[in-house]
Amino acid sequence: MKKLAILVLLQLSGLLAMAGNYGESVLVNLQGVGLEIRPLNVQSEKFDLSYEDVEAHALRSLEDLGVRLLSSIELEVMPGQPFLEIAIDVAHAQGPSHLYVVKLELREMAQLERPKDRVVSISVATWERKMMGVANRPEAIVEKLDSLLRLFADEYHMMNLPE
């Protein structure tokens, strides 16, 4: 288990170092975001996490953090159609221990350069952060999600300060 914890910490430090390479400028003039929760990948009978609970918690947290949530109509007309995507993966390891990855991405529509007769639009991640580790209770996963949402909100507000 000690080797596993060391491996997780090494991977986490690498991910955090990579996260610093993203330019926060993608958040400038961001008027709000939509929200999408990917289907939860919880491979454990002991962790009680539901899609509905995660979605309700994320919506409430973003509202509390002052991040404007766009309606579906607003999202369709907003350039890039920016939305936050949450992904949670949990697998039972040993005893009460579970390995987890919680990922938060800002995804936006972009057009790929193709020959003039064809336009390809695709959703790309323009901002991404993730946390991984070992947890013994589902509340720890929600706490990590809260940390990521708070990080996004802080950067969102920092890049969109009123002049």
Top-confidence residue, 116 or 83: 83
Q: Is the pLDDT of residue 116 over 60?
A: yes
Residues 100 and 91: their CA atoms lie apart, in Å, by: 7
Among 20-29, 46-55, 111-120, 131-140, the minimum mean pLDDT is found in 20-29
**Cα-atom radius of gyration of the chain, to the nearest Å?**
17
Residue 119: what pLDDT?
79
Residue 112: what pLDDT?
79
Residues 134 and 137: their CA atoms lie apart, in Å, by: 9
Residues 32 and 12: their CA atoms lie apart, in Å, by: 29
pLDDT tens-place string over residues 35-91: 999 999 999 888 888 999 999 999 999 999 999 999 999 999 999 999 999 999 999
Mean pLDDT of 134-147: 94
Q: pLDDT band for 163, please (50, 70, 90 cuts).
A: low
Q: Is the pLDDT of residue 13 over 50?
A: no
CA 119 and chain centroid, separation: 28
The amino acid occupying position 102 is V
How many structural domains compose the chain?
A: 1
- Both tokens of 77, joined, read 């007309």
∠ CA(77), CA(19), CA(21), 5° rounding? 90
Top-confidence residue, 157 or 48: 157
Domain region containing 135: 2-159
